[in-house]
A and B are shown apart, each in its own frame.
Chain A
């Protein structure tokens, strides 16, 4: 059943939004009030949606061309001058191509840089494996001091962009290409380090974040209709993760599922395992990309093929509930 916590924050309606669009809009709005915000992009601003900010504040927008390493170091340089750089490119380039710059120029000095990576996960679709970041969370999580956030919908994206602008330190924000149904309404409050339990149950715990949240939500409702109540947690703050919420739920249900559009190595599932193996040993079943590269296809076809669609998620849950 819907948790008490969730009753006032869940969105009712059929509006959809892509997290990248919500990002672009929120960033442009923040630019009005926070003059220290500067935005950088690598010739993808019409895809990452920083174009909205660029049009509004051209003097605070810097296009660095197709040169991600340079852009990340440049963001570090701007941050040393008290600016708050929001830098965007696709997740594959932010995490892999500019990894050394993220690590040494940004994270090591703890600079106030917000890396807002779009087109993450296999939900990118037709662009295929070269453009699908399925290891970005693992890379960012392993770099000391970076906050890793994965919003599930447009509302949560806006709240996360606000929180990131407020927070003084490096953040990696994982955004997606495609539109997805809104989950939260404006009452929802996001805090770094906190997850939110959307459904209460006893049979198992399901933890997810990002684009898979709406799919899991639908799966959880189906299970509920069959009389199977499970704890359902949206964990947008992957690092730091909400340990207490995970431990309490695992203690109650004794079985945890994680769902992520990411390699099952190093992502949300791993983060949950790290908490539970040390503090509340519990069986965890990780649903995600099983250590292989993505592929080209429609997001729906890819999700079906990789077991990330509702049917695939339900199949694994049912098998393990027996």
Chain B
């Protein structure tokens, strides 16, 4: 199997942390769901740079792989990655939280190139994605559908309705990545409504599952490169992540699910992100 070279991993780290900095710049306009954006950002970075068959110049290319952010509130991550990919000018990001913005607190398909489906109400993305995967089969296309869900989101019953349906309809062009940061709005997922063990649950529903470190670029790439894990079964990746990964004082704190930051905090936070990026780069060596 093809592995990522060290330089490729370095580039991904740099991109991912550049996106984190851009998210903080967006938050100059106020609050946002930074925690889930930062926990899912490394996954999105690998997806858009290395896995998805897509073309930012032709966002509606019919044969593209689809990506649906079921946990729509993590869209700061998606916006920053789409801008980095060239779906739209970076300046659009600075309209975050302004009136009638194309980069709203939940993503809107009609407002921004690269958004496949408007999400925000949790538990909708997987049912939609499964049907898109079924459409590919009807149209004899070979595109794949990737979905990022939150582990808190997995409390929604419609997630499991769709999980059952995907296995039943054998949509093996469907891949979900659960961003399992272990925290939700008001605290630890295990305290509020435990969704563990997610891998075993999806397996019992008829999925082929893997568990990974959602911040290990090599592992994310290796795993996503191997889909479908089994022919005739949808694939589920449970990615263990850290909420607010990259901003040390916010990491693994539920209070950073939705952060009301002070304007004067932003520059310091951006500096800290830079330091964290350096540490990550050191880990992979020079």
Contacts and interface: CB of A to CB of B under 8 A. Distances in A.
A64 to B, nearest CB: 6
A16 B111 CA distance: 48
Interface stretch (B129-137, B178-186, B224-232): B129-137
Nearest to B163: A70
Interface in B115-171: 116-118, 120-121, 123-124, 127-132, 134-136, 138-139, 157-158, 161-162, 164-165, 168-169
B234 to A, nearest CB: 14
Contact of B158 (A60, A70, A78, A83): A70
Interface string A123-154: 00000000000000000000000000000000
B178 to A, nearest CB: 18
Given A75-B131, A76-B128, A80-B117, A69 B161 contact: yes
A100 B164 contact: no
A101 B165 contact: no
A225 B279 CA distance: 92
A246 interface: no
The CB with the most chain A CB atoms within 10 A, among B127, B138, B139, B157, is that of: B127
A70 B135 contact: no
Interface stretch (A17-25, A104-112, A207-215): A104-112
B110 interface: yes
B222 interface: no
B1 to A, nearest CB: 31
Q: Is the interface of B mostly helix, strand, loop or mixed?
A: helix
Given A64-B165, A76-B131, A101 B109 contact: no
Interface string A50-77: 0000000001101011010111111111
Interface in B38-80: none
Given A65-B165, A73-B131, A80 B158 contact: no
A321 interface: no
Contact of B165 (A59, A70, A76, A104): A70
Contacts of B139: 81
A249 B132 CA distance: 47
A67 B134 contact: no
B121 A60 contact: no
A59 B161 CA distance: 21
Contacts of B168: 65
Contact of B124 (A64, A67, A83, A101): A101
A276 interface: no
Q: Is the interface of A mostly helix, strand, loop or mixed?
A: helix
A38 interface: yes
B157 A69 contact: yes
A89 to B, nearest CB: 13
Nearest to A73: B127
A101 B70 CA distance: 13
A49 B68 CA distance: 33
B42 to A, nearest CB: 27
A101 B124 CA distance: 7
A78 B110 contact: no
A98 to B, nearest CB: 9
- Interface size class for chain B? 20 to 34
Contacts of A74: 127-128, 130-131, 134, 162, 165
A104 B120 contact: yes
A64 B128 CA distance: 13
A77 B158 contact: no
A67 B161 contact: yes
B138 A60 contact: yes
Contact of B116 (A70, A71, A80): A80
The CB with the most chain B CB atoms within 10 A, among A59, A75, A81, is that of: A81
A83 B135 CA distance: 8
A310 B100 CA distance: 52
Contacts of A78: 131-132, 134-135
Contacts of A105: 121, 124, 127-128
Nearest to B158: A69
Contacts of B123: 69
A297 B193 CA distance: 42
A62 B164 CA distance: 13
Contacts of A64: 161, 165
Contact of B138 (A38, A65, A75, A109): A38
Contacts of B135: 77-78, 81, 83
Contacts of A81: 131-132, 135-136, 139
Nearest to A63: B168
Contact of B110 (A72, A75, A76, A109): A109
Nearest to A72: B127
A311 to B, nearest CB: 45
Interface of B: 109-110, 116-118, 120-121, 123-124, 127-132, 134-136, 138-139, 157-158, 161-162, 164-165, 168-169
The 9 A-B residue pairs whose C-beta atoms are closest, nearest first, are A77-B131, A73-B127, A70-B161, A67-B161, A74-B131, A77-B128, A81-B135, A69-B158, A104-B121
Given A80-B132, A83-B135, A105-B121, 18 more contacts: A59-B138, A60-B138, A62-B134, A64-B161, A64-B165, A65-B161, A65-B165, A65-B168, A67-B158, A70-B127, A70-B158, A70-B161, A70-B162, A73-B127, A76-B124, A77-B135, A78-B135, A104-B118
16 contacts: A65-B164, A65-B168, A69-B157, A69-B161, A73-B128, A73-B131, A73-B162, A74-B127, A74-B134, A76-B131, A77-B129, A80-B128, A100-B121, A104-B118, A105-B121, A108-B118
